[in-house]
Amino acid sequence: MVGLLVLFLGWAMFYALHSALAHHSVKAFVQSKAKGHYRYYRLLFNVISVVFLSALLVYQFTLPAAAIISLPALLPIIGALVFVLGLVVLVVAFASFNKAEFVVNI
């Protein structure tokens, strides 16, 4: 149970750090301090996110698999439907997204 608590805190820290680094005021502060190196901020942001996420996933998959609660049989079907709905929303969202914004101009 301690492993799950550590995992929960790790995910909470990941999302908090990810949200903080993506916040406009943090980016503006870094831009004012980093001057010409700000163009690497997004790269550093992604590296930090990938390293933190990788560490979390490695830890998560090293924990022993154990059912915490028993699930009703209908739940996987509902989960699959929600997943498909999420994919549809993602595709629609990315269709109107400015992909050129994420290209680093070096």
Domain ranges for the chain: 2-102
**9 has a pLDDT exceeding 70:** yes
pLDDT one-digit tens code per residue, 47-106? 999 999 999 999 999 998 877 778 788 988 999 999 999 999 998 888 887 767 666 555
This prediction has a pTM of: 0.59
Cα atoms in the 13 Å half-sphere on the side-chain side of 105: 3
Say which residue the tokens 């149970």 belong to. 1
| pLDDT confidence bin for 39, thresholds 50/70/90 | confident
